[in-house]
Structure formats: C-alpha cells, structure tokens
Structure 1
Amino acid sequence: MRRTGTSIRRPLLAVSAILAGAGLPDGLAGAGQDTFIAQQSELFTNVTVIDGRGGPPRPSSSVLVWGGRIRDIGARGSVAAPDGTVVVDLSGAYLIPGFIDAHASPQTTQDLRALLAAGITGVRDGATSLAAFEERGRGSFGEDPVPTVYVGGPVLEAGSASHGVVLESEAAAVAEVARQASDEAGFVSVASSVPPSWLVGIARAARRAEVPLWADRRGSGWLLALRAGSAVGSPLISGDSELLPESERGSFEVLADAGQVPARIAWLERVEPEGPDVDRAVTALLSNDSALLPLLASASAPLDCPAEAAPCAPLSDDEWTALQAAWPKAEALLQTFHAQGVRLLVGSDAPRTTPLGEGFHREMQLLVEAGIPALDVLGMATRNGAIELGQLHERGTIEIGKRADFLVLEANPVADIRNARRISLVVIDGRAWALGPDDAWRRVRFN
C-alpha cells in the first residue's frame, strides 16, 4: 500500500457545442472544426477493445458508432459501415467503457470536470438528494461535457449528523424510505450514524418500495444490513465487531470506544480473513446478490471526517505504521470476497477522503495491488457499477445497442492498471472530446 439501483429517471448530461480538436493523439489526423452538427457514423478501427464483460482484450477490432449508440463491433474489415462513414484509425490504442464511480459527491461543475478528466462518465452521488442537486444548478453546465450523475437520498442519518435527513426514530426512517421512493429516488442510502436496531425495518421498507438500499456502515451494523437485504455494503474495512472472532470483540470495542486508536486499524488487526465470521459475510452478500464497495483508497484518512474539516487530519506516523502492518489482512479479506464471487464495485469516496478523479484511479491500483487481476478490476469499474445502478442496458460494457460512452487509452490497462489514466479521448453519447493544453475540453470532429 502506498501512502500518497435504478438510476434517477432524468440523467443529467450537458449539451455539447462543436469546438476544434486540440491535443489529439497520433492516429487521429483529420480532426477539425465544423459549424454544422449532422448525424454522422464513425468507424473506430485498428483498436484493441476491452469490453468490460471479463473476456480478454480483442486486438484489431472495429466499433461502429451512429446516433450516439454502438451499432456494430467486430474484427477489422468485418464491420459493414454505411456510405459516408468516417473511418477513425486508432492504431495502438485501447477502447474501454467509461468508468463509473460508485461513491462520490461532486459539488460543483469543476468537480464534474475533474471526474470526466479521469475517464468517469457515470457517478453515483450517495450524499445528495435530487432536490439539492437541482437547487445547486448542476443541471446547467453550458457547453462542457460532464458525467451522468445518479442521485438518490438524501442520506438517512441520526443524531447530530449534518448531512442528509436527520431522523429521530425507526418509524421516521421507515416513513422517509417510502417518501424517497415516491419521489423516484434511484436508491436509498443509510449512514453509519443510524442505529443498527433500525436497519431491519429500513431494509424491509426499501424492499416494499422496490428501491435499492446502499448501506455505508463504518462501524456496527454492516453485516446486519446485508442480512436484512441491503443491495450494497461498504466499506471493506467495516469496523463491525460481528465480523471478528468472538474472543476479539470485547477488546476491539474497548479500543474503539476509547478512540485512542482509529477503529479500523484495531478492527483490521483482529479480523480473520478466512475465518467463519467472514464466511457469514460472504454468505449474506451472495444470498442477496448484494455487492461490496471496498473504498480502500479512503482507508488512509479518517473515515468520519466532519464536512467543515478541510482538509481532514492525516493519520499520525504511528497510526500509519500500524495501518501498513495490518494492510495485508485487508488484501487477504478482499481476496476472500473476490474468490467467492462477490460482486465488487469501485468508488473513490471523493472528495471527503480522496481527490475527485485521482481517488478513483488510486482505488483501482490498490485493488490490483491486493491481488485482483487488472481485467477484473476494469470490469468492477465499469460493468459492475452499471449493474448496481440499474443501467447495464445502457452503459458499462462495449456492446451493440448501448450508448457510445467509452474511453480511448494510449496504452494497455490490463498490462498496467496505471495506463487507465492515459486517456486520449472521452466519448459521450457518440461525441468525442479531448482535453486541450489549457485543460479545457475540445469537441473533436473527424472528417
């Protein structure tokens, strides 16, 4: 380790203007400026396709795009293109689905630009309601391309929490779930401040309303939420004493209550990654077809940092040393869930504990360092995120009929996951964009 549901019914996507291409990679000659937008089919060819479905990369492939959709995919020379199709030679490049950050909270247009620069074309905002989203004016982005944002919420909270909706009883929480469902929330999020005793009632209400429940439990109730039917559990280093050997639970709770050692470090030091207590967590995830959102990148900063603390205080040197010493257990725990077929997601927890965009790539790198193959991690960052947002029919893989939302990379991310940062083009709804030397987006037209 290095220190360093169904979506909302109105996905938010900016309308783009035609701009001159700038800073284009080799092989994209012919990109220029136009003043008239016409539906144009484009054949991206001589490219290696990594489709997000788990199969090996497909070299020398072609992808036909028209009307914002992928119309055909095949080996070079096998795809029949309509007359007038513009052929875009991507020799030496790699084409992958756009990334989905399953846990971030972009606050401004600037935040959304940072996400897109990292190749994130879809983001689940787990801390914002639709009303708050619209009040901030984030539906007005001018000419900039931005990711599609999926919102649910507001987050269910209790006590003196300052985010989301603060609830005083289980009955109030159950009523809030019903209210959010009637408002067409894409999912309901429940925070760690909500007492574990409320979780079963909340989960039952979510099932009745047919809205997915995402449980962010950085403490007690992680396993209970999954047993009750939460669609997603997070984070991997949960701090739930129920996942520890019974002999270790008392000492952990004493340390956690005292606050002298960060709870996640004390928990990680005591967990048995292949023990029977973790097996129960695997069973809960698999029996409900639930997903796990690891949030490894956020583990090097305080997990419960108040919003007004900017920036959050880093771990002390002694705490960092202790976390590094215990980190192999986190990796072994992740391997246990992956080996058992638990669906894993990629989320950054940005901007609370990691920078927007950068945190997502750091998360992918930590997953690979933990022993997960890079090809699997790419599927977690694309297909799995689309599954949990109820968007697999639209995005998450390179398949015929889906939205043409994809990235063109300069190098192979399967050989080195860090190559996923080397983005030449971002394509959204079939429109290609590139970042210029001034960090401004330029619309790329091929002719």
Structure 2
Amino acid sequence: MTRLLRSSAPRRSGHRLLVRGIAVAGVALARGLSAQPAATVTAFTGATLIDGTGRAPVRNATLVVREGKVVAAGAGERIAVPAGASRVPLNGKVIIPGLINAHGHASTAANLATYAAYGVTTVYSLGDEGPEVFAAREAQRRASPAHARVYLAGPVLAPATPDEARAQVSAAVARGVDIIKIRVDDNLGTATKMTPEVYRAVITEAHARGQRVAVHVYYLEDARALLAAGADYIAHSVRDHLVDAGFVNALKRSGVCYSPTLMREVSTFVYDTVPAFFADSQFRAHADRAWMATVTDPARMAATRRSASAQRYKAQLPVAIQNLATLAAAGVPIAMGTDTGPVGRFQGYFELMEMEMMVDAGLSPAAVLTSATRDAARCLRIDQEVGTLEAGKQADFVVLHASPLEDMRNIRRQHSVWIGGARVNTSPR
C-alpha cells in the first residue's frame, strides 16, 4: 500500500489513439466519450487472449465479434474468420475482458463515460442514481452503450421501522432496481445504526419480491448477523476486527460474495496532503478537476489531518487488507469494488489502484483479474452477459500493451477499450 500511494504513476506508453465519436441515443454525455459503430463482423487478431474463464492465456489469438457480441475466441489457427470481416491487428498486445466494478456509484451518464475511459466497462451502482442513470440502464437493453454498462440499486434504503422497511422495498422494486441496498453502520459512532428488526424486514420483503440485498457494513458482528439474516452481498470490508474462523466458514458456506473496497478507506485520509497520483498523466486525463480542487483545498487538507475518523480509517485499513487475504485464501468469492462516486473517489482510476492494492494484500494477479471480471459478474448475476470473452457474451474488452498476469501495474498500460465491439474514445478531455 505504501508503495502504491507514494508512487502511483506506472510505466506506460504515452500513445493514445483517437477515434471518431457518435452521439449516444437517449443519453447526453457531458464528457464527450463516444464509440464508433462496430462492423457487422470484426476479427481482432494476433493478440494474447486472457478470456477471463481462468484458462491459460492464448497467444496469437483471434476474437470474432458480430453485432456487438463475441462469436468465437481462441487460438488463431482454430478460429475461422468469416469472409468480408473487418480485421483489427493487435500483434504484441493483450486482450482481457472489460473490468467490472462491483461496488461503484454513478449519478450521471458522464460518470459512466469516465469509468469506461479507464477500462471499467460495467459498473454495479449501489445507490442514489439519478434519472440519467436509470435511462442509461434501459437504453443498454436495446443497444450497447458508448460508456460503461450500469446496473443499479436505486435509493439506499433507510427505514426506521419494519413497516417502513416493507414500504421502501416495495417502492424500490416498483422502480425496477437490480438489487436492494442498505447501510448497517453507525459511521464510527456518529449515527444511528439500523436495527436487526428493521434489516430483517428489508431482507425478508426483498426476498419475497425476488430481489437480493447488498449491505454496507463496518463491524464484524454486524456482518455476522446480517449473513445469518440472509443478506446476499457484503459490500465493504470488515474493518474493526480480524475475521474469525466461524465467520469465514459461514461466509464460505453461504456463497455470499465480499467486496473489499480498499480504496474507499484510502480516500478518507489520503488528502491530508496532495497525493502522488495527482501528478499521473493517466489520472489527470479524465479526473474531475473540481474534485481535485476541493480535496486539495488547504483548509480541507488541514481538517483531514486533524480528523479522528480519517485517522481511525487509516489505522484500520491493515485490518481490511488482512481480512481480504484471509477470505480469499479460504475460497470466499471476492468481487472487486471501490465505492467510487462520492467526491474524491475518482471513478475508473481508483479501480486500477484497487487491483494493485489487492495484489499487495497477497492475492495473485490472476485472482485479482478474475475478481474484476468473471467473479464480479457471477456475484452480481450478470455473468450471462459480461465477465468473460466467450461466444454469446457482450464484446466488452480492454487491449493492453502488456499482461497484468505478469505485473498488475500493466492494467494501466491500456491501448484501447471496446464496449459491444465498438471502440471507446479514451482521448483526454
């Protein structure tokens, strides 16, 4: 972690390809990200393919895409390229599935564009999305977007009674959310925590209506109780204590996934000074300048240095890191997530830093890449659409200059990003 925060600017090519853009139907993108229409059939040739399934990388591979979906992927000598197909030579490059953030926040379509600019092609937005994001979710059901795909939770529910719990779940389901989200946390003793009676009512009602429940937690005992109550997704690290064998075994038996969101913790204390990554040209290419100014305002930085909560989050980050390592080693499914979206939690870039932190925590590069592709998709039940590059799935992928399996810092060395077989404009804004 110390290495990451001191020097986040990796070795990377300065080359960025510019592509022509088209307007996104029904969604105005304030940041100008767009994609060019894919040819009816396109063959991407010559690259090393890491398809996300866990199989070994395939050298000199061919990936065939028709109308936004994968038709075939594998060794070049075994894949027949249809006559008349457009060809995109990628010799010397590496293709990976598009990254999936299993816990982000996207209040606007422009935020979805920013995610895509860093190779995050799908975002599971866990709360408080605006109408634009609901519209984007609906539009992607008809055609591939020119920004990250999005699935959403709608409002973060905060009922005070079981009756309110049932009513709020009913209203969220009526809006067509993909998951229900609640917080069971007292913000380090500064807020009232949702009671077991209320969160059990949320979970029961959600399940009765065919919905799963994602939970924001901080404390081990809350995570244990929520798991026993039937919660479906642990959306943050346990940070107050090291997890014990009972919790590890219960989580493993349940099949419930765990999203560590380490960069959420970093964001609480890193702005006590100007962080090193602010100088990284890759970060600056798409970073929100207003956010940068806000978090580096001298008065705010001084307040961060004095903040007891910031220091507590900083002190307990090693607990979160150790818990991630313990759970991953035990075989608990891990879904890469960051809680990006609030001011100072920079969409897209923080996901790349998160993956590096996960490797620093002791996970292998292969395990981390899988957590950000196949496993994230499985955890969120969107694996029929995304997560791996297999026939019938969306052709969402990132082309890299070098393999992240050799060095996770290579996840930053991006040649191009493709969503639905169309290239995303990743030129600096």
Which of the five TM-score ranges fits, normalised by the shorter chain? 0.7 to 0.9
Matches within 5 A, 1:235-384: 235-238=236-239, 267=240, 271-273=241-243, 278-302=244-268, 311=295, 314=304, 316=306, 327-352=317-342, 354-384=345-375
> 1 CA distance for matches of 2:330 and 2:249?
9
Partner of 1:395: 386
> 1 CA distance for matches of 2:419 and 2:38?
16
Q: CA deviation at 1:358?
A: 1.4
Between structures 1 and 2, the one with greater helix share: 2
C-alpha distance after superposition, 1:341-365 (max 9, x if no partner): 1111111211325211111111111
> 1 CA distance for matches of 2:372 and 2:323?
19
Letter in 2 for 1:177: V
CA contact (8 A) 1:199 1:224 kept: no
Specify whether residues 178 and 364 from structure 1 end up closer, same or farther in structure 2 by C-alpha distance, changes over 3 A only.
Answer: same
> 2 CA distance for matches of 1:316 and 1:52?
44
C-alpha distance after superposition, 1:90-114 (max 9, x if no partner): 1111101111111222233432222
Secondary structure, counterpart of 1:43 in structure 2: strand
Matches within 5 A, 1:402-413: 402-413=393-404
Specify whether residues 136 and 195 from structure 1 end up closer, same or farther in structure 2 by C-alpha distance, changes over 3 A only.
Answer: farther
Specify whether residues 156 and 367 from structure 1 end up closer, same or farther in structure 2 by C-alpha distance, changes over 3 A only.
Answer: same
> 2 CA distance for matches of 1:218 and 1:325?
14
Secondary structure, counterpart of 1:367 in structure 2: helix
Q: CA deviation at 1:330?
A: 3.3
CA contact (8 A) 1:94 1:408 kept: yes
> 2 CA distance for matches of 1:376 and 1:74?
21
* TM value normalised by structure 1: 0.73
Partner of 1:127: 127
Q: CA deviation at 1:39?
A: 4.2
> 2 CA distance for matches of 1:400 and 1:408?
18
> 1 CA distance for matches of 2:38 and 2:100?
29
Matches within 5 A, 1:32-431: 39-129=39-129, 131=131, 133-134=133-134, 145-157=146-158, 167-192=159-184, 193-219=193-219, 221-238=222-239, 267=240, 271-273=241-243, 278-302=244-268, 311=295, 314=304, 316=306, 327-352=317-342, 354-431=345-422
C-alpha distance after superposition, 1:206-263 (max 9, x if no partner): 221110100012346222111111111132134xxxxxxxxxxxxxxxxxxxxxxxxx
> 1 CA distance for matches of 2:51 and 2:137?
34
CA contact (8 A) 1:103 1:349 kept: yes
> 2 CA distance for matches of 1:144 and 1:224?
39
> 1 CA distance for matches of 2:71 and 2:217?
42
CA contact (8 A) 2:38 2:67 kept: no
CA contact (8 A) 1:301 1:314 kept: no
> 1 CA distance for matches of 2:400 and 2:109?
24
> 2 CA distance for matches of 1:102 and 1:215?
13
What stretches of structure 1 of length at least 5 have no aligned partner?
Answer: 5-12, 17-32, 158-166, 239-266, 441-447
* CA RMSD in angstroms, aligned pairs only: 3.3
Secondary structure, counterpart of 1:112 in structure 2: helix
Letter in 2 for 1:286: K
> 2 CA distance for matches of 1:291 and 1:126?
15
> 2 CA distance for matches of 1:51 and 1:144?
21
Letter in 2 for 1:392: D
C-alpha distance after superposition, 1:369-394 (max 9, x if no partner): 00000111111111122123321011
**Structure with bigger gyration radius:** 1
CA contact (8 A) 1:130 1:152 kept: no
* TM value normalised by structure 2: 0.76
CA contact (8 A) 2:160 2:194 kept: no
Q: CA deviation at 1:315?
A: 5.1
> 1 CA distance for matches of 2:137 and 2:318?
44
Q: How many residues align?
A: 363
What stretches of structure 2 of length at least 5 have no aligned partner?
Answer: 7-22, 27-34, 185-192, 270-290
> 2 CA distance for matches of 1:70 and 1:205?
38
> 1 CA distance for matches of 2:424 and 2:321?
36
CA contact (8 A) 1:409 1:424 kept: yes
Letter in 2 for 1:187: I
CA contact (8 A) 1:286 1:342 kept: yes
Secondary structure, counterpart of 1:334 in structure 2: helix
Letter in 2 for 1:173: A
Specify whether residues 111 and 210 from structure 1 end up closer, same or farther in structure 2 by C-alpha distance, changes over 3 A only.
Answer: same
Q: CA deviation at 1:130?
A: 6.9
> 2 CA distance for matches of 1:135 and 1:89?
35
Partner of 1:444: none
Specify whether residues 368 and 280 from structure 1 end up closer, same or farther in structure 2 by C-alpha distance, changes over 3 A only.
Answer: same
Deviates most, 328-337 or 380-389: 328-337
> 1 CA distance for matches of 2:104 and 2:85?
38
Q: CA deviation at 1:47?
A: 0.8
